[in-house]
Amino acid sequence: MKLLHHGMAVFLCGSFVIASVPNGWAVPTTTSASQPEPKALQQGPEQLRQLVAPIAIYPDPLVGEIMAAATYPSEVVEAEHWMEQHQGVTGDALAQQVNKQSWDASVKALTQTPAVLANMNQNLAWTSELGDAYVNQRQSLTEAIQTMRHRAKDAGNLQSTAQEKVIDGGQTIDVEPASTDEVYVPQYDPWLVYGDPVPMFPGWAPWAGLYFDGPGIGFGLGFGLGAFAGFGWGFHHWGCDWHHGWATYNHHSFVSHSRDIANRNSEHRDVVRHSSQVNDRSVARHTASHTASHLHAAASSHASSHAFFHARAAHHGGGHGGHGR
């Protein structure tokens, strides 16, 4: 079984290598002083606002976790499938088991809010595009979140409640849980809550418990944080630095080391774009969709294998233990 998981991880990494090189890109064979510097794919302000609409009203620590974890979409898929296979494990036992996994701290942190993790897995193209924007357009991405918070406040939909505190600092709006022991995830329609309607992200599917049918905000799901408090990846270790455009982890700027997302701002680029006429959002979305297809196909294959081993174990009267990487 360990070999199965090792092979799964290798396949996922390979899928991302393929997915991260969209059509129209090629490895350069020669360099020239007259050759222009390749430009990073950039999404416009409205595109970024559409991208952040589903999470902009979430508490700051949760937004920080989501932006960071979105740069590891392969681990998001793996973590969600692990959670599905361990539904009976809760509280301290869950925290202990999660701590043993090799996922990034941000992905581990999302197991505290299972509905959020499941939503990111369900909307994997969106997750991958969010991760790409964090790696390549952090400042613009966090500015988009603040813009949407101001819009929601102006529309009368973002204000302090019994579940969360909204702190308006003028240029920036902070959102914090009202309690240190529990976090509530706001329920809202991300395309209506900001006043003027926002175009729906293509293919977006709302997750039950995170969606509110109407223009306002509701609170239904509260998640206890006590069992995870003793771990370095827990909820209270995360946040956002709105002034410098970072997710923060242990009061430091979160720098992703994921191989899932290409950093196109690097000085040492491995690829260049042949045509400047390619639509940036189309390329990014094509890549994200390609990535999601590869990951879910791999996950389906893994699920089939998992079911096969269960069937064999039942046939032979054996059991099936927990999974590790």
If one compares 213 and 278, the residue with the highest pLDDT of the two is 213
pLDDT tier for residue 294 given thresholds of 50, 70 and 90: low
Lowest average pLDDT, out of 162-176, 209-223, 259-273, goes to 259-273
pLDDT at position 208: 85
Residue 13 belongs to a domain: no
CB atoms closer than 10 angstroms to residue 233: 23
Residue 126 has pLDDT above 80, yes or no: yes
Residue 283 has pLDDT above 60, yes or no: no
pLDDT at position 102: 97
Which distant-in-sequence residues (6+ apart) come within 8 Å of 71 by Cβ? Answer: 106, 131, 134, 135, 256, 258, 260, 261
Mean pLDDT of the chain: 79
Residue 275 belongs to a domain: no
pLDDT tier for residue 316 given thresholds of 50, 70 and 90: very low
Which pTM value belongs to this model? 0.74
Residue 59 has pLDDT above 50, yes or no: yes
Which distant-in-sequence residues (6+ apart) come within 8 Å of 293 by Cβ? Answer: none
β-partners of residue 272 are 26
Pair 137, 42: CB distance under 8 Å: yes
Residue 262 belongs to a domain: yes
Pair 265, 165: CB distance under 8 Å: no
pLDDT at position 221: 77
Residue 189 belongs to a domain: yes
Residue 3 belongs to a domain: no
pLDDT at position 266: 58
Residue 141 has pLDDT above 70, yes or no: yes
Percent of the chain with pLDDT over 90: 63
Query: Domain range spanning residue 164?
Result: 44-203+231-266+297-311
**Dist CA 118 CA 116 (whole Å):** 5
Give the mean model confidence (pLDDT) for residues 87-94: 94
Using the structure block, give the residue that is written with the tokens 């701002």: 265
Lowest average pLDDT, out of 35-39, 86-90, 186-190, 230-234, goes to 35-39
Residue 112 belongs to a domain: yes
pLDDT tier for residue 41 given thresholds of 50, 70 and 90: low
Residue 166 has pLDDT above 70, yes or no: yes
Residue 147 belongs to a domain: yes
Give the mean model confidence (pLDDT) for residues 247-258: 97
Residue 31 belongs to a domain: no
Task: Give the number of domains in the chain.
Answer: 1
pLDDT tier for residue 213 given thresholds of 50, 70 and 90: confident
